[in-house]
Chain A
Amino acid sequence: MVRLLALDPVAIGDLLWTPLLIIILKVVAIFAIGLLVTMFMVWFERKAIAGMQNRIGPNKAGPWGLLQTLADGIKLFFKEDLLPDRADRFVFKLAPYLAFVPAFLVWSVIPLGGDFSDGKNGIVTWFGEQTRVQLADPPVGILLVLALSSIAVYGIMLAGWSSGSKYPLLGSVRASAQMVSYEAALGLSIATVLLLAGTLSTSGIVANQDGFTNWHVVSTGVVPFIIFLLAATAELNRPPFDLVEAEQELVGGFNTEYSSIRFGLFFLAEFMNTVTMSGIIVTLFWGGPQGLFDIPIIPGAIEGTIWFIAKVLLFLYVYVWFRATLPRFRYDQLMDLGWKILIPMSLGWFMLMAALRLGRDQDWNQAVVAIVSAAVLIVCAGLISMAMKVSRANREREGATF
């Protein structure tokens, strides 16, 4: 029971004031940090893209325009809240929260720092109590992340559907297809990580990545990381996979009919998701708060946070960079990439890693295992490409039924 519910070492034992306060403090801090980080992310994206496009970007509100998002938010609050005549009123109002709340909840399971050196497993001591620098550490941590990101799909899907308008409908149809199909690739690439980590808990996954060669990006052989990065971009609806919003095609996509703070919530959720997804990538593949070397002077507990922030920033920049440079995929190309490349590839890689793992446990010859599995994978890849060719030929014979 304790194993199942004791989410935090601080909560084990009798219920005392200090642990309770620490938990409450953490809840408030995570919420505040979440909002602040989102604000910063919007500013960072606008500023970075402006730099790439020979523009200045926001520079009026606050120093270097840092408060621009706040100003935008206030403006959105005071805008008229429009509810289209043909909208499904309840669902239309519900949808923004369905997108927004999961984005926040994911924060609670990401290890934001902590001392992972010398087998301390990220436990730090605050006010004489042992705790983790994360709100909750459920044993099903990473499953929770997947579950929440699935719920976020409903937000977008229902928003488009309930608007009672054609462009949002197209957007929501795209959203459901895109996010459902990329979740498969996302899950399969996570499976490879879980295979190595042997645990679903996020702090356990981080603890497993002790030292650079144990970082999962290295120990799983890069491929799952790349698949995860692509699938995560699609899951986030960020360019080049932002078909759901696709301004040039669908005007605003699923949020065309939204205005005022309801739109603001979608907007916030999208940027929040970007930050959390970067956090998840760092947690899963880049060692989370684990550093490459000891930063002098700074104590271990804070050092982890510094490493974490640095790594997340890197991925945030990558997302901004994608947005500034890449053209958008077309719907069918996106589906092709997801189903014909990413899913088979992640599945194949998962099996390869599983075979290697089994071979090591059973003391088989590693080289033979690797060669045999690689051969099997190549045969599978050949079969799949043949199947694709046949089906394409069939389709062509039937003729485009448009």
Chain B
Amino acid sequence: MTAVENIRQTSEGGQEMKPRSEIGARELMREVGAVLRMSEAEAAKLGQLPVDSDEDQTMIINMGPQHPSTHGVLRLMLELQGETVLRCKPIIGYLHTGMEKTGEDLTYLQGGTNVTRMDYLSPLNNELVFSMAVEKLLGIEDDIPERAVWMRMLLSELNRMSSHLLFLATNGMDIGAVSMMLYGWREREEVLRFFQKVTGLRMNHNFIRPGGLAADLPPGWRDDVLEILDMLPPRLEEYDILMTNQPIWRERLQGVGVITASEAMALGTSGPILRSTGVPWDLRRDMPYLKYDQMEFDVIVGSYGDAFDRYAIRLNEVRESMKIVRQILDRMPAGDYRIQNKKVTPPPRGRIDESMEALIHHFKIFTEGFKVPEGEAYVGIESPRGEIGCYIVSDGGPKPYRIHMRAPSFVNIQALPHMMRGGLVADAVAVISSVDPVLGDVDR
């Protein structure tokens, strides 16, 4: 493939959906097959392909990148027959800012500011996975102080709660229950207020860093967390009244955007989408990291793989996260919040005045950065959206040679075309919402 062809393939125009007259039945089949990662014969068996469908009866409509419910700048091209969606093609790249490439120019200490902006609804999870990958390369993953590990878990769970609360808000909004949007944001705001108190920022914290965290928890943090834990359960009950038990809500979501377990796995989905099909796959339990193996919590699974299951899973995951946070509160150890390794951690402020070595270390860490041994490492954790993975290759310098994020949103929107086929336009909106993609995570 020549360079020009390559550009044509990946640019905006190359991604666009073509009308049926321009693609033959074979191409159409390939489109469906490619979506499902199966052979063309299998794809043909799977669905009744409307090969002879009359061109005049369908309409290709552009949904996004500016559309109220495509969650940012996702662009979908839908082929409609009346209101029924025949084909769907997601087009991405409208939020592409080259963050993975930028990561190659930032030191490992600066890397956190970069990755935290990818999935901006769960920034702490991004930082966590990046830090864990760096620690694995450094070989210090077992030396992280106890308190730092537990703090990371606390923040990561609270982040899961805030992210899912935002999902509940936007899902309500997309289905038309407009008040739900404000209720969801309101609850999320309480969690963000805690983050602000701890990290200084509501989002994009750069708080979890290689070697530990940026600071210790502030005094009174326990009361703040308890306040959130006491505030949430009655509010979640209200959501049940407003949405879960609402007949219109159930009718709008049940049986919409159905995907089976094998299809979900073939498409590489993870997180609530995979769990909605009944596959109990949760990295916190199946490949425990931090101290999740000591936690008691349930992995919520659905049975129908529809939009309602995905909604219910997230709603209940908020409850599970609260359970975990309570256990963390009981067991939070005292100790240091970062590793005391002079090569990785900047020395305490007081030492800089006394010791020349400390000053040099401080200077070196913040200008050149610490060197990471040659090698490569992959770490995957369970973000609110699914498995988020960080793959780093180091050439022995202070900056990563290559950094790649396995972004759950990116993989999950692969399932969109499949889940939308045969639905209505209103279902398409419900499906996008139930996948809950973060476009910053998709495009990076």
Contact = CB atoms under 8 A, between A and B. Distances in A.
A118 to B, nearest CB: 46
Interface stretch (B155-163, B363-371, B422-430): B422-430
Given A402-B50, A402-B81, A251 B67 contact: yes
A328 interface: yes
Interface stretch (A49-57, A217-225, A298-306, A369-377): A49-57
Contact of A248 (B61, B69, B81, B182): B69
B57 to A, nearest CB: 11
Contacts of A399: 48
Interface residues of A, number: 35
Interface in A317-334: 323-333
A402 B421 contact: yes
Contact of B179 (A52, A170, A173, A247): A52
A1 interface: no
A400 interface: yes
Contact of B182 (A55, A167, A249): A55
A166 B78 CA distance: 12
B173 A248 contact: yes
A246 interface: yes
B243 interface: yes
Nearest to A243: B426
A170 B176 contact: no
A151 to B, nearest CB: 26
B173 A329 contact: no
B177 A326 contact: yes
A249 B69 contact: yes
A241 to B, nearest CB: 10
A54 B182 contact: yes
Query: Which one of B59, B67, B80, B179 has the highest number of Cβ atoms from chain A below 10 Å of its Cβ?
Result: B179
B294 interface: no
A96 interface: no
B244 to A, nearest CB: 12
A10 B333 CA distance: 88
B83 interface: yes
A327 B429 contact: no
Interface in B321-360: none
Nearest to A399: B48
Given A55-B182, A248-B69, A402 B48 contact: yes
Interface in A21-75: 49, 52-55
Given A53-B182, A240-B248, A249-B69, A327 B81 contact: no
Given A246-B176, A327-B177, A327-B252, 11 more contacts: A54-B182, A166-B61, A170-B425, A239-B178, A246-B426, A325-B177, A327-B176, A328-B176, A328-B248, A330-B252, A402-B84
Interface of B: 48, 50, 59, 61-62, 67-69, 80-84, 86, 172-179, 182-183, 186, 242-243, 246, 248-249, 251-252, 421-422, 424-429
18 contacts: A53-B178, A53-B179, A170-B61, A170-B83, A246-B426, A248-B69, A249-B425, A249-B428, A326-B248, A327-B172, A329-B252, A330-B427, A331-B424, A333-B248, A333-B252, A400-B422, A402-B81, A402-B84
